Structure 1
Amino acid sequence: MTTPFTPSTLTDRFVTEALRGLPARQRADIEAELRTLIADAIEDRLEAGTDAVAAEHTVLAELGAPRRLAARYSEKPTYLVGPDLYFDYVRVLTVLLSTVVPIWFLFSGIVTFVAGSSAGETVGVAVTGAIETAMSIAFFTTVIFAIIERTSAMRSRRTVVWDPASLPEVLDKRGYFTELVGGISFLVIIASVLIWLQTVGAVEGRDSALIGPIATELWTSGAFYIALFYAAVSISFHLFAYYTGWSVSNAMATIVLDVLFVVPAVWLTASGRLLNPDYFDAVGWPQGVGVVTAIVVVVVLLFSALDSIDAIVRATRKRRTR
């Protein structure tokens, strides 16, 4: 005997849609709870004199989309990174983007330039590499935190309890801001003096051509732009630290940047590739090449060491205030 077909009610359709995608072990309990909830709400409206069809439609409309309603009963999250992990996610992502990306930018720029590329090609490769690195970091960090969000065993390992004693001291940043402005101004002055000496301050060499203190081959190759890259990245690091406070990651990244700058700078200077001996001969100071070479090496090593030490001290000081 064939069982007669019974058309599904609006409630049946609502419950069926709500149960889609839910774990099988939860469906029976959630279905029973939803049907009870809907039946009680419909009964209340019927007692108030509402038509049965209208009462059912109104109750289901007030409950909202069935998938959204079912998500409240389910343990399955409907977001990539929830509120419990969101601030950890932002902190990790910020640290990675503010350290790895600038380091890769400077490193790829140096490698590309040393390989013989022009200044324009160097900038293009460095920018492209930095963007790709940033996108990769953002993607994989999000994927990792999304997996943690959906894995109860991994999420339950976050046993760190926030302690008010971990709040950092409210420090007066005006002094550091003054130092930051002073450092930027110093870099601008140095760059301006070098450009002036190489252009306006150029003297006539042996072949009647105008020459500056920087070796012509090095100047025309675009190495000066690499130095500007380093200055820009270094300034961005310090600006980031000014607004967010120094951290161990920021300090370590600063040290890496200093090393990436010091090694090629000292090598170029000590190997005689930085200065132009003809310029010093033309100004009547032939021994100036050795003197200026020694001064440049000492200044580069000194300032880089002070910058690294300052980063470590500030990061350590911040950890002690917690």
Structure 2
Amino acid sequence: MTATLTERYIDATVRSLRPQLQDDVREELATSIADAVEARVEQGEPAEDAERAVLNGLGDPGVLAAGYADRPLFLIGPRYFMTWWRLLKLLLWIVPLSVMAAVALGLAISNAPSGQIIGSAVGVGISVIVHLCFWVTLVFFVLERVGTDPVPTWTVDQLPEPRENSASLSTLVGSLVFLGASIAAVLWDRFRGFVFVDGDIIPVLHPGLWPVWMLIFLVIVLAEGGVALAVFRQRRWTAVTASVNTLLAVVFATVTVWLLSTGQLINPELLATIAQHGGEDFHYADLQSADEGGIFRILAVLLGAGIIAACAWDAVDGWRQTRRSAAGRVTG
């Protein structure tokens, strides 16, 4: 069901408040908005126009929430504070992690020691965070004092869309379908094959993974399915489900990257076939990248980085959903 402007406005206002404040503020806002809209309607104004006028008059829900929470907006000043805060949060989520990942990936490809990779990535990440905070704040500091352009007026058209319920049936089905497809792909690779050479099947995954490592993979997948079912039954994420989800992500990433780094994940016969059919161009490119361990090592580093990134996002997303559930932010 599509949320009304009033419901979206109230949700945007209370989502940053402490959980113990949210119900009271929600009730108070709903009552005051309804009364104000009713008063305008009694004066002959259309209900839709009256609702928009009342909400526009209340202003940015972030500023209104700050008043309810008694949070002073003095770092930059109320005129630019919310714009500064939203931009800084967005940049801090994206830029440092992207730069750290790029530095770590580049050093890993160049065969640098693990200590150097970690130290350089962390050092660059800290430097990027400091520079972001300083320069973004400096820009808004200057704007606050010398800027002549008015701040754009907030309207209800800027309200965020209601968030999708992470415990919905569609999310559960999507998760189970993905996990089932993963198992099916592994079984297909083993018994039917994705790669054929002269009529023979060449599995992509190392045959030595069977049966022990594949049993571990199956346990992890079934456990992920159990987490998805638990979230659906409880209608929300909890610290327990997020913790289990994080543990499974760490175990999967650790095992997979270790197998990859020790040459036990990808079938060596497949790699030999690729090298054999690659011709002179392949061998020349492999020779040119000898200092980095060759083409296959570079591809292994990229694959490992992708696995770590996917598992990290899965773990972080579970805690994000838990935080939203705890704060009463998930909308139906």
Give the alignment's TM-score, normalised by structure 1.
0.40
Higher relative contact order (CA 8 A, sep 6+): 2
